[in-house]
Amino acid sequence: MEIKSIKIGNIEVPNNVFLAPLAGYSSAEMRVVCTLLGAGLAFTEMVSAKGLKYNPKATNELLYTYPEEKIKAVQLFGEDSEVLSWAVKSEYLQKFDIVDINMGCPVPKIFNNGEGSALLKDMNKASKIIESLAKCGKPVTVKFRIGLEEGNYVTKEFAKMCEDSGASLITIHGRVRTAIYSGDVNFKEIESAKNAVKIPVIANGGVFTKEDANVLMDRTGADGVMVARGAMNNPLIFSEITESKSALTFKEAVLMHLNLLEKRLGSERCAVIFRKQMAFYLKGVRDSKKLKEKAFSATSANEMRQIILNYV
């Protein structure tokens, strides 16, 4: 794929390989590591606009950032345009340069609240949300799926609506809501949206290797790719796709992630939170099952660190 800068509103992003917003995973620490390894843009975890308004202490932790994040991008979810607008204008989001709206989350709890992918079936409400956020002064992007179920695709129409409502960029996950994260990516649907709009289109889904990224770009004609689970397994995927010299080895990247998290949260809490991430980092490592069990029983960052130093 051609590596190139991308213009999102008045902001120029250094390259077109993005880290996806990953609930429970794309913490500030992961974003710093992935950015250092070549990600052009990295999004926060999915943040509830209502949560930010009514339970800011808990929700605000998801908004922690580091100076190394030169361009800061937050992803919000919600179905109330007024609450979403309030969130964007609030003090909590002032440090963010770009606001992404989640219109693709397939999780039942989100969907049943009329949020995430549920907005695919209410284009008027989705449009109102985008319009209201676009008036807040920051570039607005939208991440959505190709439809709710196979054969009932809304990709092209939804993409045009996003553009007409003021979105500066769209990211399309090439699966329907019922597929969750499995099955083939529908290249044709992403291509149909790319051909229908003038704003940049980022393709998402199934990128675990550089070859996957090349295929996704070639088959869709998209302007860039977004990496999700592939980055959870291997953050060096950004160096591989961009063909840039890796700033870190895999072990160094994992240690950096752990060390930053420990500095922010302390040893014990860091160990607990890092367990699920270690499960991904240990994939493919010899005796990974035993090592995962060891990691999930770790009660300090140093115990976790010894596993990394000795086995990763």
Domains of the chain: which residue ranges?
A: 6-242, 250-311
Crossing angle for the helix pair 210-220 and 187-194, to the nearest 10 degrees: 50
Q: 123: which 2 tokens?
A: 């284009």
pLDDT at residue 177 is higher than 90? yes
DSSP secondary-structure letter at 10? T
Q: How many CB atoms lie within 10 A of CB 76?
A: 27
Residues 85, 52 contacting (CB under 8 angstroms):
no
User: What pTM does this model have?
Assistant: 0.96
Residues 34, 235 contacting (CB under 8 angstroms):
yes
pLDDT at residue 284 is higher than 90? no
| One-letter amino acid of 41 | L
The listed CATH number (1.10.357.140, 3.40.50.720, 3.20.20.70, 3.40.228.10) that belongs to domain 6-242:
3.20.20.70
SS3 233: helix
Residue 34: active-site member: no
Marked catalytic residue, from 105, 136, 162, 270: 105
- List, for residues 80-92, the tens digit of each pLDDT value: 999 999 999 999 9
Average pLDDT over the chain reads 96
- The residues near 309 (Cβ < 8 Å, ≥ 6 apart) are 251, 255
- List, for residues 246-280, the tens digit of each pLDDT value: 999 999 999 999 999 999 999 999 999 999 999 99
Cα of 256 vs its chain's centroid, Å: 20
Cα of 19 vs its chain's centroid, Å: 5
- List, for residues 42-90, the tens digit of each pLDDT value: 999 999 999 999 888 888 889 999 999 999 999 999 999 999 999 999 9
Residues 96, 89 contacting (CB under 8 angstroms):
no
- Average pLDDT of span 225-254: 96
